Amino acid sequence: MPIRNRIAEWQEELTAWRHDLHRHPELRWEETRTASLVAERLRGFGCDDVQEGIARTGVVAVLKGRGPGPVLGFRADMDALPITEATGVAHASTRRGRMHACGHDGHTTMLLAAMRYLAETRGFDGTVVALFQPAEEGGGGARAMVEAGVFDRYGVEAVYGMHNLPGLPAGQFAIRPGTMMAAADFFRLTLRGAGGHAAMPHQAADTNLAAASLVVALQSIASRSIDAQQPVVVSVTSMRSDSDTYNVLPDKVELKGTVRYMAPGLGARIHARMEEIAEGVARTHGVTARLRYKSGVAPTVNTAPEAEAAARAAETVSDAVSREAVPLMAGEDFSDMLAVRPGAFMFLGNGDSAELHNPAYDFNDAILPIGASWFAALAEGAGRPG
């Protein structure tokens, strides 16, 4: 029986697993219930080795096949987001202010289903190492797993991951060799001046006006400081002052935001330009500026042989596979795994759903067997040449 059809027989059970995870979302580094459930199921499937507490709240499981072969790592992320759900579904989050708004509940379920299938059939050569990762959402969970030594300890030779993608037709795969997703850096800019009465701004040093000018000036980085052929986004996402009334000019305004880019090395250039712009705008308005810039995740870059292997495996479980995926400016810490091993990251269409990180988002349960079958096909060598 084809992999997809066999796993599809478990649709109702897989949906129940996913709904349970969705009802009980856990933020980064807090995935204790999720990790415990994952480990319990993996042991029940008969995995050869299951380890908990990897990189604090991660889980690693090992399955050995019929004989010698490649050691492949498969990754699924487990954490939720600090968002209040607004889906209205029966399986909605029971924890206010926490929600699986990125589909990590679905990713976890798909890899669990793949491990169940592979444990039952053992129809593959080599070894599969399942990496159930904590803290993908800004916590550095992938880097923590790398630093915990899982790739060396288990001899992982290549690593694969997947993310659902709203707007892409349900069940359709998309990948490309090279850069799939952007780097993600973060910044905080603090402006300090002299507060005063809003009716007498000449007696103050207006941090609000300086902040407004700075928001606009920062856009010149992408439009004037970087080659127009290089994708760059500089977004100010928060602007907060220490005044909350209508007639007071604040002493301090704080801006927060994110920087996204595809080309390695651009982060340092953008950082330097932000320093120059902030200093110039602050001097113009008679205030001071302090920039704190944090490098986040690097661009997610697929190695060409593994990207092709991922596409070939996808073709065994779906009749819609694109090798020309449009890169996203979103960031993904799977890049930290690709920094130490060859591998590939793939998109799987979630259909016509709300966007990721939206309170109305929900994972499409219909694609659970498809994603699980892709992992299984990779293990069984569907993507390897010959």
Q: And the tokens for 236? A: 């100010």
Query: Could you give the 3-state DSSP secondary structure of residue 174?
Result: strand
Strands 288-297 and 178-192 turn out to be: antiparallel
Query: Is 285 annotated for ligand binding?
Result: no
Helix axes 207-218, 266-285, angle to 10 degrees: 150
User: What are the Cα distances from residue 265, in Å, to 106, 260, 261, 275, 276?
Assistant: 33, 12, 9, 17, 18
Q: How many alpha carbons fall within 13 Å on the CB side of residue 119?
A: 21
**Taking the mean position of all CA atoms in its chain, how far away is CA 90?**
26
Q: Which helix (H) or strand (E) holds 62?
A: strand 58-64
Structure tokens of 43? 């042991």
Tokens of 128: 């599969």
Give the DSSP H or E segment for 253.
Answer: strand 252-261
Angle 201-249-287 from CA coordinates, rounded to 5°: 75
Q: SS3 for 203?
A: helix
Inter-residue contact 145 to 53 (CB < 8 Å):
no
| Cβ pair 370, 317 in contact under 8 A | yes
47 is in an annotated binding site: no
- Which residue shows structure tokens 């994603």? 371
* Residue 260: strand, helix, or coil: strand
Q: Is 120 among the annotated ligand-binding positions?
A: no
What is the token pair recorded at 146? 């790398």
User: Is 102 marked as a binding-site residue?
Assistant: yes
> 52 among the known binding-site residues?
no
Angle of helix 11-23 relative to helix 368-379, nearest 10 degrees, comes to 110
Q: Which residues are annotated as a binding site?
A: 102, 104, 137, 163, 357
Q: Which residues are annotated as a binding site for Mn(2+)?
A: 102, 104, 137, 163, 357
